[in-house]
A = this chain, B = another copy of it.
Amino acid sequence: MSGYGATFATMQALGLLPMKAENPAYVRAEQGSGKGTKLVVVGAGVAGLCTAYEAKKLGYEVTLLEAGNRPGGRVWSGRNGDVVEFEDGTKQTIEWTKGLYQNMGAGRLPSIHGTTLGYVRQFNIPMEIEVNTSRSTFLQNDHINGGKPYAQRKVINDSRGHVSELLSKAVAGGGFDQEFSTDDKKRLMDFLSYYGPLDKAGKYKGSDRADLKQYPGAGPQDMIVNEDTIPLDTILKANFLGYEMYEEAWDWQATMFQPKGGMDAIPYAFAKALGPVLHLNSPVTAIAKTGKGVTVTYLKEGKETHITADYCVSAMPLTILRKIKVDLDPAHQDAVTKASYRGSYKIAWEGPRFWEKDFNIYGGLSFLSQGPSPLWYPSADIFSDRGILVAGYQDESIDRFQTMTLPQMFARSRGSVERLHPGHGDKLEKPIFVGWKRMKWYEGSWIGAQPAAEYDVMNQPDGPIYFAGDAMSHVVGWQEGAFLSGIRALQMINDKVKSA
């Protein structure tokens, strides 16, 4: 931890500062401190874009080289005409109706990712709410309830109801007489009675939070609660808990956001600010240490081109870095070689918004215990006619996609939709499969479990070569981690330049 960070954390521990994650991280440096220093950044994902952008602001002479034909890396929104290209040459062209899109990589921003939101503010990127939790979404398990899905509201509220009933029973039965006073017991019982909610006998018999048999209406039509709750035994066997608690993960809690029109508004804002610093279609083939710095070799219109610099920041996925000829010391070489990336995918379909009109589902995620899961409903353009539905967003290995053809994967994905929305699966069309482990220039969704020693090595420079990307952070799989790692790499370089 840096000195600043340590002091900050100590002050927080003492209660002197509120926990304000919205404070963006910045490079602490004097204006113009990069003047006369040459820097090459490799990879125009958000880590590379941010590194180059901050370096340019400090006066560095920066070149940002990107192998592909667009900035953003895994922060990419697919639209009509876009081509998805796998490393093995497989190509898919997106044919969705114009105006529709899907964030095929990064898809949401939490309100506590302060550095990311700091850039959103700097670039004035128009934002909207991303719905990560909707009580109308489903939880489903083939072996539970005859395979029929439950609404999330029922699972979550029935779970709390049963837990409250059991604890109420234990308290009433004298189980806590030793530790609680009569007053405390009374308060706890009152709490559980509302928390459950429980009836006067301490029983949980459903509630309007969980399920209604009849909605209240005009005239005589009053609310009727469905007292037929999911039995505790079923909840325990259904293995839904991970889905129930999903909304409480610290970086998935409401409120979440998305840029209007697609997540790639963020990288495109950086690209615009960088102007000619960014070179697309410029795959790097080698990074050599020169003693005074680095020589980076890349292909420019197919021709080998060399560029020398004082420092290089590799912001490529380690899966790509290891395919390039780079002068790495043994420790870095070892960590790069061993890095194991995950193979998360998304399958996205165009269709009419039956999930809104027929199922009250506006954004949020439905989870299945088998087959492609979850279904992720669009938060953009709610109430419009058509939308892009994600049916399957997890690691390929879970669905054994490695053994399947694209049509087989699509059939499985449609099957998941049909399980939750019977009779509607056939309305979906133009599926696109983006398996990040197969994607050209990426070959991985994010880094998997890694020994701490390898993580620590990659977070230190190898001579003039520094490493950035979410893999060099404890915020793996998020833009926040990529930004913070880019800022950290540049901070290390700048501190070195200053002390030189």
Contact = CB atoms under 8 A, between A and B. Distances in A.
Interface stretch (A73-81, A126-134, A391-399, A437-445): A126-134
Interface stretch (A268-276, A278-286, A354-362): A354-362
Interface string A70-92: 00000000000000000000000
A387 to B, nearest CB: 13
A195 B129 contact: no
Interface in A360-380: 360-364, 379
Shortest 4 CB-CB contacts between residues of A and residues of B: A216-B474, A170-B170, A218-B484, A135-B253
Contacts of A222: 474
B175 A208 contact: no
Contact of A166 (B5, B176, B379): B176
A339 to B, nearest CB: 16
B245 A194 contact: yes
Interface in A441-500: 456, 459, 472-475, 481, 484-485, 487-488
A481 B224 CA distance: 16
Interface string A95-128: 0000000000000000110100000110001111
Interface of A: 1-2, 5, 9, 12-13, 18-22, 25, 111-112, 114, 120-121, 125-129, 131, 133-136, 151, 153, 156-157, 159-160, 163-164, 166-167, 170-171, 173, 175-176, 184, 187-188, 191-192, 194-195, 208-209, 211-224, 226, 232-233, 235-237, 241-242, 245, 248-250, 253-255, 257, 357-364, 379, 382-383, 456, 459, 472-475, 481, 484-485, 487-488
A114 B357 CA distance: 9
A379 B256 CA distance: 12
Contacts of A13: 213
Nearest to A154: B19
A446 to B, nearest CB: 14
A131 B133 contact: no
Contact of A208 (B125, B211, B250): B250
Contact of A248 (B157, B173, B379): B157
Contacts of A481: 216-218
A11 to B, nearest CB: 11
A43 to B, nearest CB: 16
A224 to B, nearest CB: 7
Contact of A215 (B112, B173, B220, B245): B112
A22 to B, nearest CB: 5
A2 to B, nearest CB: 8
A213 B9 contact: yes
A261 to B, nearest CB: 14
A235 to B, nearest CB: 8
Given A129-B128, A236-B184, A474 B253 contact: no
Given A134-B254, A166-B176, A222-B474, A129 B363 contact: yes
A362 B253 CA distance: 12
A153 B253 contact: yes
Contacts of A187: 236-237
Contacts of A166: 167, 170-171, 176
Contacts of A459: 218-220
A382 B254 CA distance: 14
Contacts of A217: 5, 25, 473-475, 481, 484, 488
Contacts of A159: 195
A206 to B, nearest CB: 11
Nearest to A146: B15
B191 A236 contact: yes
A214 B134 contact: no
A21 B358 CA distance: 9
Given A112-B136, A173-B175, A257-B382, A129 B127 contact: no
A476 B359 CA distance: 24
